[in-house]
Chain A
Amino acid sequence: MYEITKVEHLVDKDWLMVVKAPFVAKKCEPGQFLIVKLGELGERIPLTIADYDREEETITIVFQVVGASTEKMSKLKAGDCFTDVVGPLGKPSEMIDTPIDELKKQSIIFIAGGVGAAPVYPQVKWLHAHGIEADVILGARSKDLLIMEDDLRKVAANVYVCTDDGSYGDKGVVTDILKKLVNEQGKKYTQCIAIGPVIMMKFACLTTKDLGIPTIVSMNPIMIDGTGMCGACRLVVGDQVKFACVDGPEFDGHLVDFDLAMKRQRQYKDEEGRAMLALQEGATHSGGCEADK
């Protein structure tokens, strides 16, 4: 059992948790993820490691309620336990293995969409700790959905915020800001790292391709084991089939087949819809409604 030491409701459907997980906390690096499981018959849920404390042997996760399992997680309190936590999984970000001198020559911009701010944070923090200040574009649908702004401001050179509805920061989407920074303010970036919903990463990549900025994305396909033994997480990257859990989750965004990735993510839509309804309305609907089956 893995104890939850802190629970924080960030905004709307986003939650933060600190969890005791010694093996993960000891070894994890920015870019990696873990899998949590709740209950004997629970699902294995992949989540990016948003922060870690090697001394305390804890890791931080930030998750959005999108379906039955994340809904269940949001009901947990400090002192409760996950049945299973396994990790770290996936490869660390490329920057971890890049010589610091090399990194210092680069000019890095992060693009974070929605809950993607959480996986961006440890990377910006890591760079900051190594004397490198990166820029961050932080996007959300509206002001009350924005997360981690303060944390990011502490470790980034500049944080540019935008909201779809203009309730805070610039009105517009993350790609608008990027274009403005490069085309109007003359910023020159040599590397972009975009993390967020697949659709956002897709458009970020179309933009950075135009601007000639190499871009890394962090993919989040459906996963089962997360160790490379099922292929549920397979993606097409540059005409090759890759398993996101072992070959990624970070890939060259200009090579990823995003449309295919989005289609594969929707595979379980009906079952997930049903499980969510069952949780919200009790067994009356999903179990009993013949029309659903």
Chain B
Amino acid sequence: MNNSMTRVPVREQDAKVRATNFDEVCLGYNDEEAVLEAERCLNCKNPLCMKGCPVSIHIPDFITKIKEKDIAGAADVIALSSALPAVCGRVCPQETQCEGKCVRGIKGEAVSIGKLERYVADWAREHDYVAAKAGEPNGKKVAVIGSGPSGLTCAGDLAKLGYDVTIFEAFHQPGGVLVYGIPEFRLPKDRVVRPEIENVKKLGVKIDTNVIVGRSLTIDDLLNDEGFDAVFVGSGAGLPRFMNIPGESANGVYSANEFLTRNNLMKAFREDADTPIKVGKKVVVVGGGNVAMDAARTALRLGAEVHVVYRRSEEELPARVEEVHHAKEEGIIFDLLQNPVEIYVDENDWVKGMKIQRMKLGEPDASGRRRPEEIPGDVYDLDCDMVIMSLGTSPNPLIKQTTEGLDTNKHGCIIAKEENGQTSKTAVFAGGDAVTGAATVILAMGAGKAAAKGIDDFLNGRA
């Protein structure tokens, strides 16, 4: 056993070099490093780490397989619970999930569960090892709307049970936020996301891209005319919010979704891509979540000086600790406890600066976080030539508007039962960001999984 209090460090691209390219920042463990880190796991009888994992991967079991150098065996263990391990190993906020609960974290550093999961998944891909198998066809058809993590997981699980599954995806490429939102340098598209989606296809799942449910087809068409026995809605929460402050319609003000979609999905950073992207010399990103970090680090790589303006303090930053750390290493400037109140526009209708209000923290609000309050009169002007609004997103109302009997709450989120994804409409299930609002990959996967079971129960008269 390796009794070190600290984890085996993971190799990363140097901050100065990576700030100029879109290659993956974290290089992952090699074979020796992985085994060495695996040996830090105590193989607890009552593994707390599993309680922190939303899809309950049997963590000590797969780590034991790594210790035994049986990586295929480790992949089999993970495949029982997760369809996208190469993705989750990279983007899950492990510090608040599995690793947050690991007993080794009490005195030293938690076991690097995420990096080990990633190691196993990368090994399986490099060795063309496919852990999951399709089930015996049962003659029933299920439609899945959206090919993000929730849809892919639900589709994969249903295929393993023998269902004939078709995913309908609005974009020209499947993957949801994994392809249009999270950038290359955190989640390589061709090397990681695409093969992971291919694995789902290998289970017999069909993916129809360029189909927008609500326009190209409706949910009622799927159930009544197209012969589907049930529908899963995993359409995400892609509708961007703006601040509604003066100057926000000026040229040079983008939603993070637009900026990231141009860059990730349309590959605007490449010389040979047709979609243009414009990046200023000095870019202000408003917001403090993962999306803000991704937008900021993308703008930096396109050559800008980047400021993140966030209205609370560092402690409340909703982004993952690792991402904030990476952003700082790369040279992103954090302007905390500050909030824009107006965008200044030049004579050509381009952004030329912002009026910024300084804030302080007041009493905790309903969410338990201390509420930001304006410091009266404490405002200043910040020059910039581009602004990226990263204030969160909500579900697109299209599906709700075109589906009779599908209830949503006041935030536009579809109402669905947590345990099985059942919505107010018979045979229609939902999960992921479409139900919770913007959340995480692993929660979306957990919801897809629960709904697959819910659909199976429903179609077999067990519910």
Interfacial residues, chain A to chain B (CB-CB below 8 A): 23-24, 27, 37, 39, 41-44, 68-69, 83-89, 224-225, 227-232, 234, 236, 241, 246, 260, 263-264, 266-268, 271-272, 275, 287
Contacts and interface: CB of A to CB of B under 8 A. Distances in A.
A27 B261 contact: no
A268 B275 CA distance: 10
Nearest to B258: A230
A143 B330 CA distance: 59
Q: Which 7 A-B pairs have the closest CB atoms?
A: A271-B276, A229-B238, A230-B258, A86-B210, A43-B274, A23-B216, A263-B349
Contacts of B267: 41
A260 B261 contact: no
B240 A230 contact: yes
Contact of A43 (B215, B249, B275, B396): B275
B398 A86 contact: no
Interface in B227-284: 238-240, 242, 244, 248-249, 251-252, 254-255, 257-258, 261-262, 266-267, 270-278
B185 interface: no
B172 interface: yes
B408 interface: no
B262 A86 contact: no
A264 B209 contact: no
A195 to B, nearest CB: 20
Given A84-B172, A86-B170, A260 B278 contact: no
Contacts of A224: 258, 261-262, 266, 275
16 contacts: A23-B216, A41-B267, A83-B172, A84-B209, A87-B216, A224-B262, A224-B275, A231-B255, A234-B242, A241-B242, A246-B396, A263-B348, A268-B276, A268-B278, A275-B276, A287-B271
B171 interface: yes
A85 B277 CA distance: 22
A273 to B, nearest CB: 10
Contact of B172 (A23, A86, A230, A263): A86
A275 B170 contact: no
Contacts of A264: 249, 251, 349
Among B209, B240, B254, B275, the one with the most A-chain Cβ atoms within 10 Å of its Cβ is B275
A236 B274 contact: no
Given A23-B217, A37-B172, A264-B251, A229 B275 contact: no
Interface string B347-375: 01100000000000000000000000000
Label chain A's interface by main secondary structure: mixed
B249 A234 contact: yes
B248 to A, nearest CB: 8
A37 to B, nearest CB: 6
B210 A230 contact: no
Contacts of B242: 231, 234, 241
A123 to B, nearest CB: 18
Given A229-B396, A230-B240, A241-B242, A272 B261 contact: no
B26 interface: no
B211 interface: yes
A23 B238 CA distance: 23
B92 interface: no
Contacts of B239: 228-229
Contact of B261 (A37, A228, A229): A229
A234 B270 CA distance: 26
A89 B261 contact: no
Given A23-B217, A231-B242, A267-B278, 4 more contacts: A224-B275, A231-B240, A241-B248, A264-B251
Contacts of B257: 229-231
Contacts of A271: 276-278
Contacts of B238: 227-229
Interface in B182-226: 209-212, 215-217
B271 A85 contact: no
B272 A41 contact: yes
Contacts of A287: 271
A229 B252 CA distance: 17
A169 B239 CA distance: 47
Given A225-B171, A227-B212, A241-B242, A27 B217 contact: yes
Contacts of A241: 242, 244, 248-249
B91 to A, nearest CB: 19
Contact of B170 (A42, A227, A260, A266): A227
A86 B173 CA distance: 12
Given A27-B217, A84-B172, A268-B278, A232 B258 contact: yes
Nearest to A243: B239
B274 A275 contact: yes
A88 B239 CA distance: 19
Contact of B258 (A231, A266, A272, A275): A231
Contacts of A246: 396, 398
Interface in B147-195: 170-172
Given A263-B251, A267-B251, A271-B278, A229 B216 contact: no
Contacts of A263: 251, 348-349
A54 to B, nearest CB: 14
Nearest to A229: B238
B73 to A, nearest CB: 37
Nearest to A42: B274
Contacts of A231: 240, 242, 254-255, 257-258
Nearest to A86: B210
Nearest to B171: A225
Nearest to B270: A41
A227 B209 contact: no
B261 A225 contact: yes
A85 B210 CA distance: 7
A130 to B, nearest CB: 23
A185 B405 CA distance: 51
